[in-house]
Chains A and B, each alone.
Chain A
Amino acid sequence: MSAIIKFQDVEKYYGDFHALHDINLKINAGETVVLIGPSGSGKSTLLRTINGLEDIQKGKLVVDGMDISSKDTNVNKLRTDVGMVFQHFNLYNNKTILENIMLAPQIVLKRPKDKNREIADELLAKVDLSNQGGKYPAQLSGGQKQRIAIARSLAMDPRVLLFDEPTSALDPEMVGSVLNVMRDIAMNSDMTTLVVTHEMDFAKAVADRVIFMADGKILEDSSTDEFFKRPKTERARQFLSQVEHH
């Protein structure tokens, strides 16, 4: 297996704040990796560096053969291969659901109109929201919005899909439907998926690997079974006991 994402000695600062510390990480094509850790641990920042939403100050980061740390890399090209789903959905408020899904394929990939519509309809069916295509984001519930955001990312046919706390802003009863769609993607596609989440049951069921972060460092990088059964660090044991007692 070849690494599709490779961090080499990566450092990230916000002014004086050291956000990412000596990150070394390889993710193989097709893997499903879950990042967990207390808030402020740097897991969202790490995720956002992968599609260039955050720049890095030191080290090397190669995604899908493109070196993000180099200035010559076309970040727009990279982003057509790396999709992202945000905590607060970030759906286009001025576009209908169908337009949300079809805009980027139309103007970035120049996908023909009929084909674009066909794919959009398939994706709407996949996220169980057929018949909603004409509505605006403001007319949907949080869970529905997030499923549309996932469909919007999938429409670009990315090789890597990043999920940044996709269920944290949802009402509890909405979480299940979004996790179902994510599980389906992780299990039934050859896409590489990285998920930042606090949903431990989802991680146990779906992840191939778990990465545990705290204070901007990767403390553990192990298979899912191993991490949940035999966490190596005290920090991880503490964290697990807190979240599992919920």
Chain B
Amino acid sequence: MINIFMQNWQTILNGFWITILSSLIGLGGSLLLGTIFALMELAPNKILKFIGNAFVEFFRNIPLLVITLFFYVVVAKDFKISGFWAGTIGLILYTSAFVAECIRGGINSVDEGQMEGARANGLTYTQAMIHIVLPQGFKLAIPSLGNQFINLVKNSSILSFVAGFDLMYQANVISGANLDPFNTYIIVGIFYLIITGLLSTVMRQIEDRLGKGRLQ
């Protein structure tokens, strides 16, 4: 097993880096897009609400692979788009539907008096949402967001379908050459566990800290 790593460490670390990079871009993008769609889902305006709901339901209910291949196969016919970006855009769209659900849930658990107090205080709906309700809802959504981000890292293996040169892709390349899939996949699995394990530890610490904060 050590041999496989020694012989392929550059390839593995390259894949590891691509997986991390795609996950980070996916995290930022889906957080932004998911927040926007959560706010649309909750908006008093019926058209915005409909668009928000339609987006979330659509991307939650079709496979990530369909979205990713759509960008890699169909969109790539007219626009130059690499496997990395096809996969990462797919990840952003897919994950943002789940992020939107987490944030909507968080906002819904904020005490209604917060919005009421802000409106009575003279703030518009949008001002009250941005300054008062969303920040609190976001905090409440953190535990479930953490789970989504762990899923995001695992789902980034979708890049291997579209020549995205991520960790999973490199695992297939290496095991195709050395004909030792058993040990190769175990090594690559360990690298995935490094990211997801680290992420769950960080999330647990953030939750602990928030838990203490609430007791004040």
Contacts and interface: CB of A to CB of B under 8 A. Distances in A.
Q: Do chains A and B touch in the complex (CB under 8 A)?
A: yes
Interface of A: 51, 53, 76, 79-80, 82-84, 86, 88-95, 103-104, 107-109, 136, 138-139, 149, 152-153, 156
B123 A90 contact: no
A104 B216 CA distance: 25
Interface in B65-87: none
A90 B114 contact: yes
Nearest to A135: B216
A80 B122 contact: yes
B20 to A, nearest CB: 31
A93 B140 CA distance: 12
Nearest to A75: B119
6 contacts: A51-B120, A103-B121, A103-B131, A108-B124, A152-B121, A156-B122
Nearest to B125: A76
Interface residues of B, number: 20
A53 B121 contact: no
A86 B116 contact: yes
The B contact surface, by secondary structure, is: helix
Contact of A108 (B117, B123, B135): B123
Given A93-B114, A139-B216, A79 B119 contact: yes
A91 B117 CA distance: 7
A44 to B, nearest CB: 12
A104 B122 CA distance: 6
B136 A93 contact: yes
- Max count, chain A CB within 10 A of own CB: residue among B116, B122, B123, B139: B122
B120 A53 contact: yes
Contacts of A51: 120
Contacts of A108: 122-124, 127
Q: Which 9 A-B pairs have the closest CB atoms?
A: A90-B117, A90-B113, A84-B120, A80-B122, A104-B121, A108-B122, A79-B122, A94-B135, A104-B122
B107 to A, nearest CB: 13
Nearest to A107: B127
Nearest to A138: B216
Contacts of A93: 111, 114, 136
- Max count, chain A CB within 10 A of own CB: residue among B127, B131, B214: B131
A138 B119 CA distance: 21
B116 A53 contact: yes
A149 B119 CA distance: 13
A86 B216 contact: no
A136 to B, nearest CB: 7
Contacts of A79: 119-122
Given A90-B113, A94-B135, A107 B123 contact: yes
